[in-house]
């Protein structure tokens, strides 16, 4: 079974996983937003 408590080091382990999740979420959202934004503009301006 997975031990999710982290024991006495939880104060270091969970922030490390938290910041990793946040950075990944930021990279995913910004990448998709950037692509969607410019795809829309390219189509509206006739740039395919």
Partner 1 sequence: MVAAPAFLANPERFMAFSRWAAPMFGIIAAVLGIAGLYLGWTAPDDYQQGATVRIMFIHVPAAWMSLFVYFCLGVASLLALVFRHVLADAAAQAAAPLGAGFTFLALVTGSLWGRPMWGAWWVWDARLTSVLVLFLFYIAYIALRASIDDEAKAGRAAAILALVGLVNLPIVHFSVDWWNTLHQGASVFRLGGPTLATVYLWPLLLMGLAYMAAFGSLWLVRIRGEVWRRRAEAAVLRAARA
Q: Interface with partner 1 by CB under 8 A: which residues? A: 1-10, 12-13, 15-17, 19-20, 23-24, 26-28, 30-32, 34-39, 41-42, 44-48
In the complex, what is the shortest distance from the CB of residue 5 to partner 1, in angstroms, rounded to a whole number?
A: 8
Shortest CB 14 distance to partner 1, Å = 9
Are 40 and 33 contacting, i.e. CB atoms less than 8 angstroms apart? no
Q: What is the dihedral of CA 16, 22, 28, 31, to 10 degrees?
A: -110
Contact between residue 38 and residue 48 where contact means Cβ atoms under 8 Å apart? no
**Minimum CB distance to partner 1, residue 29 (Å):** 11
């Amino acid at each position: 079974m997975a031990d999710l408590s982290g024991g006495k080091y939880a104060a270091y382990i969970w922030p490390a996983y938290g910041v990793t999740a946040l950075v990944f979420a930021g990279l995913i959202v910004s990448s998709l937003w950037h692509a969607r934004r410019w795809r829309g503009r390219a189509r509206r301006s006739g740039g395919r």
